[in-house]
C-alpha cells in the first residue's frame, strides 16, 4: 500500500468524524409547553402590599445549541389570559388604558439570546420585551436549567426558572403612579419546552 492509499482513508475518516461532531452540535428547537409555562409577575399595590398575577396562555420556541453555547428565545404571551385570582381586578386592568388595555394590546412578546453558558447550560437571556407597542431590553437571570428525556416520549424536555425586573411605566402602563404606586415589576417565570419532532 502506497502512502497515498494510506493517507486517503485517514482523511476521509477524519472528515466523517468532523461531520458527525457537527451534526451532534446542531441547534435543537424546543416548543413551549403551554401547560407547564407561566410567566408570573409581582407588582406594588399602593405601597401596602404586593399583588401577584400570571399569564395563563403562552406559546413560542427555544433554540438551543449546547455545544456552541448559543440559543434563542421567542415567546408570545396572550395578555387576555391575565390572572390575578380576582375577577374584578382583572376586568379593570384589562380595560384600563394605562394598565393592560388588552383590547388594544392583546399580546406581548419576548425575544432574546441565551448567554452566559456553563457546561452547556445558559445562565441568562439578553432579550427584548415588546408590550403595548413599546420595545425595551429586559434581562432574565436563569436560576435553574435542566434538560432530560421526556417521560412521555418524543425527545428531550428542557425546563427553567428565570427572574427579571422592569418598570411598567417604560411601557406606558403607569396606572397608579400619581397615587404612589411603585412602577417596578418583578418577573418570576417557569418554563418547559419539548424538543420538536
Domain contains 141: yes
Domain contains 2: no
Domain contains 189: yes
Confidence of residue 197 (pLDDT cuts 50, 70, 90): confident
Q: Parallel, antiparallel, or unpaired: how do β-strands 70-78 and 58-65 relate?
A: antiparallel
Residue 96 DSSP symbol: -
What tens digit of pLDDT does each residue of 143-157 get?
Answer: 999 999 987 767 899
Q: Which domain holds residue 126?
A: 27-195
Residue 182, CA atoms < 13 Å, CB-side half-sphere: 14
**What is the per-residue pLDDT for 150?**
85
Domain contains 21: no
Domain contains 35: yes
Residue 15 pLDDT exceeds 90: no
Domain contains 124: yes
Domain contains 118: yes
Residue 71 pLDDT exceeds 80: yes
Specify the CATH number for the domain of residue 64.
2.40.128.110
What tens digit of pLDDT does each residue of 89-124 get?
Answer: 999 999 999 999 999 999 999 999 999 999 999 999
Count CB neighbours of 175 within 10 A.
Answer: 20
Query: What domain count does the chain have?
Result: 1
**What is the per-residue pLDDT for 41?**
96
Domain contains 8: no
**What is the per-residue pLDDT for 140?**
98
Q: Which three cell numbers stand for residue 77?
A: 404571551
Please compute the mean of the pLDDT values over residues 14-22 and round it to a whole number: 43
Extended beta strands in the chain, E state: 28-32, 38-45, 49-55, 58-65, 70-78, 82-83, 107-115, 124-131, 134-149, 156-167, 184-195
Amino acid at each position: 500500500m502506497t502512502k497515498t492509499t494510506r493517507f486517503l482513508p485517514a482523511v476521509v475518516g477524519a472528515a466523517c468524524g468532523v461531520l458527525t461532531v457537527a451534526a451532534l452540535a446542531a441547534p435543537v428547537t424546543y416548543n413551549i409547553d403551554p401547560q407547564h409555562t407561566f410567566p408570573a409577575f409581582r407588582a406594588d399595590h399602593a405601597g401596602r402590599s404586593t399583588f401577584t398575577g400570571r399569564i395563563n396562555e403562552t406559546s413560542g420556541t427555544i433554540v438551543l445549541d449546547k455545544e456552541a453555547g448559543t440559543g434563542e428565545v421567542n415567546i408570545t404571551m396572550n395578555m387576555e389570559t391575565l390572572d390575578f385570582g380576582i375577577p374584578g381586578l382583572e376586568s379593570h386592568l384589562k380595560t384600563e388604558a394605562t394598565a393592560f388595555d388588552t383590547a388594544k394590546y392583546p399580546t406581548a412578546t419576548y425575544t432574546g439570546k441565551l448567554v452566559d453558558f456553563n457546561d452547556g447550560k445558559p445562565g441568562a437571556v439578553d432579550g427584548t420585551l415588546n408590550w403595548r407597542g413599546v420595545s425595551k431590553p429586559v434581562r432574565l437571570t436563569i436560576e435553574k436549567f435542566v434538560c432530560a428525556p421526556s417521560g412521555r416520549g418524543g425527545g428531550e424536555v428542557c425546563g427553567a426558572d428565570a427572574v427579571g425586573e422592569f418598570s411598567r411605566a417604560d411601557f406606558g402602563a403607569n396606572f397608579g403612579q400619581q397615587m404612589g404606586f411603585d412602577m417596578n415589576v418583578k418577573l418570576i417565570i417557569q418554563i418547559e419546552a419539548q424538543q420538536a419532532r
